[in-house]
Chains A and B, each alone.
Chain A
Amino acid sequence: GAGVSQTPSNKVTEKGKYVELRCDPISGHTALYWYRQSLGQGPEFLIYFQGTGAADDSGLPNDRFFAVRPEGSVSTLKIQRTERGDSAVYLCASSLTAGAAETQYFGPGTRLLVL
């Protein structure tokens, strides 16, 4: 079956612009996670959804970052007034539900470059 997909695969934007990153999780997965990965580092937690609600958004760096999952499936990560420091790979993962023993299935990521 289809895995987690993310669009676009690459995004180049200018400082100060607004960007949207999309994640299509595996069908039936209720938990959806967003991570940010900088070069040479492990993924850094941003936010996770259980269904339509953000169960934990403690990893969002500031109020320029916002994420939604209105119908409990597709999610969009929105970044306002982008800064050069936002450049990274943004990874999305989904799992059947949220829990310590659950398998997270990752998408290939969106590579964001802010010039």
Chain B
Amino acid sequence: TQLLEQSPQFLSIQEGENLTVYCNSSSVFSSLQWYRQEPGEGPVLLVTVVTGGEVKKLKRLTFQFGDARKDSSLHITAAQPGDTGLYLCAGWSFNKFYFGSGTKLNVKP
């Protein structure tokens, strides 16, 4: 059983559309990180959120940490083919990171 559940598992959209990916848990985390992973490579950190209710923006990406620090969302505005990849959330608890199962995003031109 995964400590962090991500949804949806797969998402295929057209260029220009908006999307939201969710990361949920029944556990509280000290921080929540989002990574993007491309085939054959390791994950690359996009953002870290540490305060309940925190919102961070990175160009077209908006990240939110839930008030209770149990969940997070990633919203992408006007998706581009370069956004294609596996999006992973990871929560810090008990002195280590737990990863979600990932959302595989495909943005079609």
Determine how close the nearest CB of chain B comes to the CB of A1; give it in whole angstroms. Answer: 16
User: Given contacts A100-B50, A106-B42, A108-B41, are A42 and B31 in contact (CB under 8 A)?
Assistant: no
Q: Which residue of A lies closest to B87 (CB)?
A: A42
Whether B40 pairs with A108 at a CB distance below 8 angstroms is yes
In the docked arrangement, what's the CA distance between A93 and B45, Å? 11
| A43, B99: Cβ atoms closer than 8 Å | yes
Return chain A residues, CB-CB under 8 Å to B97. 33, 45, 104
Residue of B whose beta carbon sits closest to that of A59:
B96
- For B6, the chain A residues whose CB sits under 8 A away are 42
For chain B, the bracket of interface size reads 20 to 34
A4 and B42 contact, CB distance less than 8 A: yes
| Chain B residues near A56 (CB-CB < 8 A) | 95-96
Mask of A45-73 contacts with B, CB within 8 angstroms, 1/0:
10010000001100100000000000000
Q: Is B43 engaged at the interface, CB distance under 8 Å to the other chain?
A: yes
CA distance A107 to B48 in the complex (A): 19
A44 CB within 8 Å of chain B: yes
Nearest CB to that of B40 among chain A residues? A108
A-B contact pairs, 25 of them (CB 8 A): A33-B97, A40-B104, A42-B88, A42-B100, A42-B102, A43-B90, A44-B99, A56-B95, A59-B96, A91-B42, A91-B43, A98-B95, A99-B92, A100-B31, A100-B92, A101-B48, A101-B50, A104-B97, A105-B45, A106-B41, A106-B42, A106-B44, A108-B40, A108-B42, A109-B42
Chain A interface (Cβ within 8 Å of chain B)?
A: 4, 33, 35, 40-45, 48, 55-56, 59, 91, 93, 98-101, 103-109
